[in-house]
Structure 1
Amino acid sequence: MAIKLSLLILFFAVMVGIGLYCRRHASDVAGFVLGGRSVGPWLTAFAYGTSYFSAVVFVGYAGQFGWRYGIAATWAGLGNAFLGSLLAWVVLGRRTRVMTQHLDSATMPEFFGRRFESRRLKLAASVIIFLFLIPYTASLYNGLSRLFAMAFDVDYELCVAVMAILTGVYVIAGGYMATAINDFIQGIIMLVGICAVIGAVLQSQGGFLTALDSLARVSDPTVSNTPGVFASFFGPDPLNLLGVVLLTSLGTWGLPQMVQKFYAIKNEASISKGTVISTAFAAIVAGGCYFLGGFGRLYSDKVDVASQGYDAIIPTMLSGLPTFLIAVVVILVLSASMSTLSSLVLTSSSTLTLDFIQGNLIKHMGEKQKLRWMRALVVVFIAISVVLAIIQYRSSVTFIAQLMGISWGALAGAFLAPFLYGLYWKRTTRSACAASFFFSTTVMLANILVGELFPPLLRSPINCGAFCMLAGLVLVPLVSLFTSPPDSRQVEKIFSCYDQTITVTMRDSIGRPERKK
């Protein structure tokens, strides 16, 4: 217990200390929200990765999908690395950074408002972000509580309160830069921790080959009658596994807390380096989490999924580890959860302030007033998420994976297609953007309320969210072709930021605009 508490206290002290140190970077809106658009490749890549992977992945997704698909669940981690990280950086990174600077937009709703010249789209996007980030935040607390209960036997409400307060302190004090530096430290902890945990768990099962052989002997007639299916390449249910891969990988392309990382990166060279770093980070962390979860059925004699739920699988697997490794696991998941929570509350508070309150509830806001509102809303958002997390825990409404599926499905389904086409296709219209917003939010809300009326494959929020994303990629170009085109002069003006893509000047324009000729 002394080892666990010592590591926790040290961890919290470092996080808060960095927040206080970064106060000078958060003296204006650009610094608080984007770190002055001067964040380097390592900080940006780790901020992207740690915002991507949280207790939802480590406890919820790894446990649930490892149990369902066996070792084939590792495909989800590989999809996260190559589709959710590598391809996202290649396709979105540079164009997002250049166009958002050109449009002077600091948030995703602000991008939609200026790219499509629509105040209504900006307001709609800000409301969608606020409403659907809440379920995701509640899921972070739930996953963390499972491990704290295993390691410390500590009350859930106390665990939630401590995590929320300390995250709020360093976000309010240091803004995005404090979040990015903390994410870097937390990312290192996650890399070391996941490798150590995988090694220890496999060793407890006699090594990798022995564990894999034991997994091949596991049978579950309710899932499949194929011998060795849980140790096979594609597992017992490849189609539903594909839905998991798509939602958790392609979904990052439309999540505001992920895409806004590209807004803040320093220059073009940083984007190239960040692509490699982010991909490697995701391959180790996400691939490791799902790979570990794939051996969950070896502990079927110690966990009752029917009564305890999928979220108990990973804590059960870890409960027999040495004390020091359990402390490392707690810090690992705490790091993952706090980094994601800080990203979510910063995204939500900045979006509400800049895209909803400013110009609507308050017509004119100075820099200091904006900062006060954003810091106050960080507190409000954290408080709401804490209350909902406790309510959800006491009522046992749903599993972690389903909470995340609802959030990711609605946000990525609404934003992915209009954001992607808005960066690349001049013909994209505001009507198409609105159609994507309406379609995905309506479908996901219906899935929550009357999910039993959906076709069997789409009753899962995860599959439904993946469907919304893919549907949006078809819906946006179709609606754009059948609606009035945007003003050509305005569109050419917006896309003029890409006219210099083959020149050295463009490379310098992100980081050192004074060198433009």
Structure 2
Amino acid sequence: MIIAILILYVLMMIGIGVSTHSKSSSIDGFILGGRNVGSWLTAFAFGTSYFSAVVFVGYAGQFGWNYGMSASWIGIGNAVIGSALAWMVLGRRTRTMTKHLEASTMPEFFEKRFRSKGIKTAAAVIIFIFLIPYTASVYNGLSRLFSMAFNIDYSVCIIAMALLTAVYVILGGYAATAINDFVQGIIMLGGIIAVILFALNEKGGFSSVLTQLGEIEAGVPKNTLNSCFGPDPINLFGVVILTSLGTWGLPQMVHKFYAIRSEDAIKKGTVISTVFAVVVAGGSYFLGGLGRVYCTADSTDGSGRTFIEKLANGKLDFDAIVPSLLQSCLPDIMIGLVVVLVLSASMSTLSSLVLTSSSTVTIDLIRPLTNGKMNEKKEVLTMRVFIAVFLLISVIIALNKNAYISTLMSISWGALAGAFLAPFMYGLYSKKVTRAAVIASFVSGVGITVVHMFIFSLGFFPEATKAAASLKLNMASPINAGAIAMIAGLIIVPIVSSFTKNSDQAELDKAFECYSK
């Protein structure tokens, strides 16, 4: 039954890709859908690109385990900050200025807004490099569930998903992803509600679950996993910032505003996207908060809960928590629904990531090298080739099972949003933002992420890790590093802009005249 559901779903995705193939023959059609995408499709595309197996399996499992019910605040932050405020602050101005400047990608926006080809090239390189670990994290989460549902080897799952994504995106471009995202979003909304009801019912209802969580004392004080702000509110806040504010600077997210049809569509999309995030993100983290009720890290505690093993590096396998929880409480038909749910969420995110990366490389790196000699058909073909290249590199990284989903995503979001969020947002609103400030933000966002990765994630300086642990500082968390990178950019850009100047005021006035029309 599960396999039949899955086959029907895959055939539907490929069918949509084939049916929209004719709309993806031009650059504008392939990456922007002709800038004519409505509110419902754009809102669902935003939401389904935002939430994938990374959230449902990786983040929900790890932070539900660490913070219990308070992990639900992450989903609320995603809805309010990551969706509602992102649409209200960025939506209209992004659509208006990118259309006025004829910018199709974020690097192209930076080039035309700040009149610098060097900034465009730097942005394109950053996007290509740091979207790869995010894509790998999506494969990782997706493969965990497929291994659980079908008992298929982890590496086989990853390779199969890569091939399916390649076919799906290469055929239809943005038009195919937008239509598929809408269908996938409906599946996600219904699926997450059904799974939560099953999980609560299996353990006696909501009040019973709260009681059971309060009694758990393994590594946390009693009655904290069922409390409002959990056992570690400071680090919980860091997760909220990374996963919520991060969407403001991620190229695959703000790209949705480039393609939306009108300002009225933005108003409707704001409401739709926010409701979607409340249900999907809030539901995912709430489900993750049930992790310790179903699972244990102690094989001798006699509770009957599923034992979660440790990885080869000695750390708890957080990414196995949600799959184990689902296997414990769901019947086979619901397992099939969950697999399709997570496949839906992940395929939409993957399609958005590979489309963003391939368009960036083609338009912002390869096109300038050819001095305009490539025609539109060749550029679209080049994008399709780079989709395959990007997927191949991501698969190689994802095959490393010792890399946590949350770590991979945090590195990606920290570098990208740390570099781009501040100059992009300020650049939409203020003429005072300078090229020097943009460069400073790029250096800060990437620098903080990379330095932290070498010191902590890769373990090149074990003394620093020991020192941080002895001081009881969670400096080793890539999530906190990502949040710091974003906040640093928001501070650095106005400071640097205040003592540097823009030389071409006339060009700036032209860029901003679009808002007065």
Write the mapping of 1:288-437 to structure 2, written as runs, cut at 5 A: 288-299=283-294, 300=296, 301-304=305-308, 306-307=310-311, 309-320=317-328, 321-361=330-370, 363-390=372-399, 392-393=400-401, 396=402, 398-437=403-442
1:266 to 246, 255, 261: 261
The TM-score with structure 2 as length reference comes to 0.93
Partner of 1:489: 506
Match of 2:299 in 1: none
Deviation sequence 1:341-362 (CA, Å, 0-9, x none): 0000000000000000001255
Amino acid at match of 1:444: T
- Tell me how many residue pairs correspond in the alignment: 491
Aligned-partner SS, 1:106: coil
Report if the CA contact (8 A) 2:34-2:259 is conserved: yes
Alignment match of 1:110 (pick from 101, 108, 111): 108
The answer as to whether partners of 1:305 and 1:313 remain within 8 angstroms in 2 is no
SS in 2 for 1:446: helix
Q: Retained in 2: the 8 A contact 1:25–1:32?
A: yes
Classify the secondary structure of the residue corresponding to 1:458.
coil
Q: How far off its partner does 1:304 sit?
A: 2.6
Corresponding residue to 1:149 among 137, 147, 157: 147
Q: State the alpha-carbon separation in 1 of the partners of residues 291 and 503 from structure 2.
A: 53
Runs of at least 5 residues in structure 2 that lack an aligned partner in the other structure: 297-304, 457-461
**After the TM superposition, which residues 146-185 of structure 1 pair with which residues of structure 2 at under 5 Å, given as runs?**
146-185=144-183
Match of 1:228 in 2: 223
Partner of 1:462: 479
Q: Contact 1:303–1:312 at 8 Å: present in 2 too?
A: no
Identify the range of structure 1 (241-250 vs 307-316) with the bigger mean alpha-carbon deviation: 307-316
- The code of the aligned residue for 2:320 comes to A
Among candidates 260, 268, 286, match of residue 281 of structure 2: 286
1:11-50 aligned at under 5 Å gives the runs 11-50=9-48
1:256 to 217, 241, 251: 251
1:457-507 per-residue CA deviation (whole Å, 9 max, x = no partner) reads: 33211000000100100000000011123422111111000013xxxxxxx
Tell me if structure 1 keeps the 8 A contact 2:435–2:502.
no
Counterpart-to-counterpart distance in 2, 1:305 and 1:337: 25
**2:272 is aligned with 1:277:** yes
Bigger Cα displacement from structure 2, 204-213 vs 236-245? 204-213
1:173 deviation in Å? 1.0
Contact 1:429 1:486 in 2 (8 A): no
Unaligned 5+ segments in structure 1 are 501-517
> Equivalent residue for 2:459?
none
CA distances 1:39-83 after superposition (whole Å, capped 9, x unpaired): 000100000000000101000000000000010000000000000
Q: Once the 2 structures are TM-superposed, how far is the Cα of residue 305 of structure 1 from its aligned partner?
A: 5.4
Q: Cα distance, 1:157 vs. partner?
A: 2.1
8 Å Cα contact 1:60-1:399 kept in structure 2: yes
